[in-house]
Structure 1
Amino acid sequence: MTVSGGEPLAHFDYLFHLLSLARKEKIHTCVETSGYASFEHIRALIPLVSLWLWDFKASEADHRRLTGVEAERIRGNLRKLDACGAPLVLRCPWIPEINDSSAYSEELLEISAELKSVRRIEIEPYQPLGEDKYKRLGRPLLCEAKFPSKKASGDYLKFLQNRTNIPVVEG
């Protein structure tokens, strides 16, 4: 069972209850999170979560501009969770001209080399699936991103695969 959202950790009491019930039934559980939460909540969930799907969205320099929050808390929580030995997958949106900087790639490679519990890195090439919905609702797009070509996605995967021992796959 995968719990995603919005941000599931924003609903801690409900999430704790749901995951407790799943654990009693021996259901494999995943939590997909940005990691922007109190570590006390994350720590309480560790025995209930089989796998953490952790978003790694942007370089520290760009994180606030792109997400509205600083990366420091998220990266700190990621390191603490890793120190607890919790199994992790880093999920990395890759959006040309938005977060495809060398700083993003270098920080991803640095932190993945530092962490011991990362099972794999999933690169999530930008999918403009919500753009039509925003237009129909008369809302402005959050960004003017481009859909990456297959070649660009493949080249980026190879670049990362050649620089880490952790499996890197397209999500």
Structure 2
Amino acid sequence: MSARVIDNLRKVEIFAGLSDEELAQVARLCKALRAPAGQTIFNEGDTGDELYIVHDGTVRVMITTRLSDGTTAPSTINTLYPGQCFGEQALLGGAARTATVSTNEPTVLIVMRALDFDALAEHNPRIGFVVMRNLARDLAYKLNASNLLLRGNIRWRGDELGKRTGG
């Protein structure tokens, strides 16, 4: 695996605190996926067992929202850039995907299967501990942000959701 892949892994929050040797062990689990612009990586509700890291390009994260007339439509909630990851809940075991993710442009993703990560964590418990601790912190942050959003204390970037729902 190239030094550039390890550099990208170093930027990913869930891998913060791993040594270069540990990052190299993680990198050996990864495969590259090249995707053209507009390709759906996965859909909201799909099952999945892979973590994705943006290596080159960008992806759009969308959720289905209910509009004021009762219909539903996809709403973009985030754009992810190199060094950012998605699908991280797969590392916790088989949860349904909570969003749809598609590429904005030709994109290279680094893909890691949860089963491969589990085997690495069994072999090197420190890697498993650090990643799970970071993942727990990230999910706690997202849960707190969602709670604030539901209470009306913050709004989605660009306030797209608020405009569509009258909020």
Q: Normalised by the shorter chain, which TM-score bucket?
A: under 0.3
- Normalised to the residue count of structure 1, the TM-score between the two structures is 0.23
Higher relative contact order (CA 8 A, sep 6+): 2
Structure with more of its chain in strand, by fraction = 2
- Normalised to the residue count of structure 2, the TM-score between the two structures is 0.23
